[in-house]
Amino acid sequence: MKRLIIGVVMVATLGIIAFVMQQNQDGSTIRSELSDFAFKDTASITRVLLKDESGEIIDLRRIQGREWSVNSEFTARPDAVEILLTTMKRLSVKTPVSQSAMESTLKNIIASHVIVEIYTDSDEPVKSYYVGGANQSHTGTNVMMTGSSRPFVVHIEGFHGFLTPRFFTNELEWRSREIFGYQVEEIASVQIKYQETPKSNFKVTNRGGGDIEVMTGEELSNPMGFDTLLLNGYLSNYKMIHYESYEETKTDDFIDSVKQSTPLFTIELETDNDSRIVHGYRKPLREGYDLEGNPVKYDQDRLYVWVDSNELFVGQYAIFDKLTKGVYFFRNTVEN
Shared-domain flag, residues 70 and 168: yes
Which runs of E-coded beta strand occur in 113-209? Answer: 114-119, 127-134, 141-145, 152-155, 178-180, 189-193, 202-206
Per-residue pLDDT reduced to its tens digit, 256-267: 899 999 999 999
Whether 267 and 190 have beta carbons less than 8 Å apart is answered as: yes
Q: Which of 235, 202, 13 is nearest to 107 (CA)?
A: 13
Query: Of 42-51, 83-92, 135-144, which gets the smallest average pLDDT?
Result: 135-144
Domain boundary residue, one of 157, 174, 191: 174
Shared-domain flag, residues 198 and 315: yes
Task: Tell me the residue length of the chain.
Answer: 336
As a whole number of angstroms, the distance between CA 334 and CA 336 comes to 6
Shared-domain flag, residues 50 and 166: yes
Is 16 a member of any domain?
no
Is 290 a member of any domain?
yes
Shared-domain flag, residues 267 and 229: yes
Shared-domain flag, residues 48 and 150: yes
Shared-domain flag, residues 54 and 79: yes
List residues bridging with 193 in a β-sheet: 266
As a whole number of angstroms, the distance between CA 123 and CA 67 comes to 20
Q: What is the DSSP string of 187-228?
A: -SEEEEE-TT-GGG-EEEEE-STT-EEEEETTTT-EE--B-H
Query: Of 25-39, 41-55, 167-181, which gets the smallest average pLDDT?
Result: 25-39
Q: What is the DSSP string of 38-83?
A: ----GGG--EEEEEETTS-EEEEEEEETTEEEETTTEEBPHHHHHH
Whether 199 and 217 have beta carbons less than 8 Å apart is answered as: yes
Is 5 a member of any domain?
no
As a whole number of angstroms, the distance between CA 222 and CA 224 comes to 6
* Helix segments in 58-197, DSSP class H: 78-90, 99-111, 171-174
pTM of the model: 0.78
Shared-domain flag, residues 144 and 202: no
CA torsion through residues 25, 31, 37, 38, sign: positive
Query: Left (φ > 0), alpha (ψ -120 to 50) or beta: where does 138 sit?
Result: left
Q: Which of 61-70, 82-91, 305-314 has the highest mean pLDDT?
A: 82-91
Q: What is the pLDDT of residue 47?
A: 97
Relative orientation angle of helices 2-24 and 99-111, to the nearest 10 degrees: 150
DSSP 33: G
Cα–Cα distance list, 313 to 74, 218, 276 (Å): 15, 28, 15
Is 134 a member of any domain?
yes
Shared-domain flag, residues 217 and 305: yes
Q: Which of 144, 169, 143, 139 is nearest to 156 (CA)?
A: 139
Whether 79 and 73 have beta carbons less than 8 Å apart is answered as: no
Shared-domain flag, residues 269 and 185: yes
Domain boundary residue, one of 138, 158, 174: 174
Is 122 a member of any domain?
yes
Q: Which domain holds residue 91?
A: 34-174
Per-residue pLDDT reduced to its tens digit, 102-120: 999 999 999 999 999 999 9
Is 216 a member of any domain?
yes
Shared-domain flag, residues 186 and 319: yes
Shared-domain flag, residues 202 and 227: yes
pLDDT bucket at 28, cuts 50 / 70 / 90: very low
Number of separate domains in the chain: 2
Shared-domain flag, residues 255 and 318: yes
Is 22 a member of any domain?
no
The answer, yes or no, to whether residue 88 has pLDDT greater than 70, is yes
DSSP 325: S
Domain boundary residue, one of 113, 139, 174: 174
Is 265 a member of any domain?
yes
For 14-24, what is the mean pLDDT?
45
As a whole number of angstroms, the distance between CA 304 and CA 179 comes to 13
